[in-house]
Amino acid sequence: MDLKFTSSRKYISISVPSKSQTMSPHIKSVDDVVVLGMNLSKFSKPTQFFICVSGVFMFYLIYGYLQELIFSVEGFKPFGWYLTLVQFGFYSIFGLIELQLIQDKRRRIPGKTYMIIAFLTVGTMGLSNTSLGYLNYPTQVIFKCCKLIPVMIGGVFIQGKRYNIVDVSAALCMSLGLIWFTLADSTVAPNFNLTGVVLISLALCADAVIGNVQEKAMKLHNGSNSEMVLYSYSIGFVYILFGLTCTSGLSPAVTFCSKHLVQTYGYAFLFSLTGYFGISFVLALIKIFGALLAVTVTTGRKAMTIVLSFLFFAKPFTLQYVWSGLLVVLGIFLNVYSKNMDKIKLPSVHGLWKKTVEERKTRTLSQTV
């Protein structure tokens, strides 16, 4: 904004720069969507959708496979926090590299905010990784699908919110599906441990909070994705390193991983890389097509992850997994529908009946003629 004062006339001339002038120099257009150095804005909408969906499925399916593969290494299950430490280290490096590729490298979000975000990130990913030492991977994925439950509980008790019947039905479906899936897991899995349920539930609560904190910080201070990744994960790396050092959990993990370099550090690098790439395509999908379609795609990805988990890794199976999983999917659909009721209009019973009667009248009239 430029202010111009003149002595001959008493007025202030204010010139506001255009939208393209206020953007960072590395952004060519307001509508540019760049993922992994590829400008998706040059392609048609169907091509953009195909690229985003392919990226989400490819990278996140590999991510899930590698995560379960690491924990299938004999003796690795107690080292979930160390895996998170390594993952945070790789994410920090990836964020630093990405930040160096853009011209605007300033840190916009305050350090105190990053300390809170880093703490929540540690809780989300650390507890989630550690829970795999006690739970089957499909059970962990099912729990991660049910973020709505802690969000609604927090909204009721903290903000005094009221929810409509669709939201309540969604939460009930998810809760029943979770209970049924967990009971199936405890019945057929010989190594089932209630500690895993507690860990993944705490991770879910942290995950429900962190999204709101990140969104508010990025909107308030206009921070970039690469800045958010670099500072939140690097501070989180320090948190975990301090915790492992104080609890004497660092030395045993380093000793174990040094004996299995490829199965631990090698897989962890690919695991972190695919996760970092996957979130880039999810953000692009949200920006181009909106959250509704993005949720649909990611839900399909999680369902595919569960199927592949049963195919690639030997584990007991029961049909109770299927019915409980379908209940959770129904809850997700109801949640998405509740947030987009103005865009999604399901036919009412009265409307269907009226349409049927009109079709019968038309059919009768045509036969008479």
Q: pTM for this structure?
A: 0.68
- pLDDT (average), residues 115-121: 90
The Cα–Cα gap between 118 and 169 comes to: 33
The Cα–Cα gap between 87 and 82 comes to: 9
Distances (CA, A) of 132 to 93, 104, 232, 313: 25, 39, 23, 14
Q: Which two tokens stand for residue 320?
A: 């109770």
pLDDT at 180 over 60: yes
Q: What is the pLDDT of residues 259-294, one digit of tens each?
A: 888 888 999 999 899 988 887 788 777 777 765 566
Q: Is the dihedral of CA 254, 255, 261, 267 positive or negative?
A: negative
Residue (of 56, 61, 35) closest to 270 by Cα position: 61
Distances (CA, A) of 37 to 26, 33, 102, 230: 12, 10, 11, 18
| pLDDT on residue 342 | 56
Residue-wise over 318-330: b if at least 16 C-beta within 10 A, else e? Answer: eeebeebbebbbb
Residue (of 117, 113, 178, 167) closest to 145 by Cα position: 178
Indicate the range of 17-31, 61-75, 180-194 predicted with least confidence.
Answer: 17-31
Q: Mean pLDDT across the chain, nearest whole number?
A: 75
pLDDT at 369 over 50: no
Contact 168, 96 (CB under 8 A): no
What are the extents of the domains in the chain? 38-340
Rounded percentage of the chain residues whose pLDDT exceeds 90: 13
pLDDT at 46 over 80: yes
Q: What is the pLDDT of residues 222-262, one digit of tens each?
A: 766 677 778 888 999 999 999 999 988 899 999 999 988 88
Contact 64, 142 (CB under 8 A): no
The Cα–Cα gap between 332 and 280 comes to: 22
DSSP string of 153-186, one letter each residue: HHHHHHS-----HHHHHHHHHHHHHHHHHHHHHH
| pLDDT on residue 85 | 94
